[in-house]
Amino acid sequence: MNFALEALYNEQDFIQACIAKDGWALKKLYEDHYSVMYPLCKRYANNEEDALDILHDGFIKVFRNIDKYQVGTSLISWIKRVMVNTAIDYYRRETRRRSVDIDDARNIASDHADALSQISAGEIIRLLQHLSPAYRSVFNLYVIEGYSHKELADILNITESTSRSNLVKARAKLRELIAKRFDTGTAAILKTEDHTDGQ
């Protein structure tokens, strides 16, 4: 949309155009948010093809439910929530759940997302794609999206202890992958453990 067109349409008008399924509005919505939502979807996917499936399914849900968006709040946050929920649906479809024994997982690491700050975003996404869907989903939702283990238990239909165990195993696998691809100093950063926050 050019400047003149933007001047004519405020957010209310734009959302109404999306609700009316005006082609220019849907195209703009997609193009404006693609570059942010695609990397988010890649974090949850096994590969780029699956990431695109999540992305396109997510945008279909956005288009179908745009009337539920409250004008004046954050459109990008609303779209992100739809994408995360779509990724969770993907996890539910693709993952065959197994019970996980956590007797040995007594010391739960609670590294922060910025522990990966020495690695490029693209490399982090590639490393996450090496995790199983169960580990990848818990890692993304807990470390990056900020969900608690209690929330994850409800969302993913697993126990809180399974969520904690999957997080520990995801971090261990990431440390292993980083040690193989990078220096041991970076892997050591990821190995730093602190207390569980009780979530």
Positions of the chain with pLDDT lower than 70, given as ranges: 1-9, 94-121, 124, 181-199
Query: What domains can you pick out in the chain, each with its CATH number?
Result: 10-94 (1.10.1740.10), 113-191 (1.10.10.10)
**Can you tell me the distance from the alpha carbon of 199 to that of 197, in angstroms, rounded to the nearest whole number?**
5
| Interatomic CA distance for residues 42 and 52, integer angstroms | 8
Q: Which amino acid is at 23?
A: G
- How high is the pLDDT of residue 98? 35
Per-residue model confidence (pLDDT) at position 126: 79
Q: Each residue of 74-107: pLDDT tens digit? A: 999 999 999 998 988 887 776 543 333 333 222 3
Per-residue model confidence (pLDDT) at position 179: 73
Backbone angles phi, psi at 39, to 5 degrees: -60, -35
Q: Say if pTM beats, i.e. exceeds, 0.85.
A: no
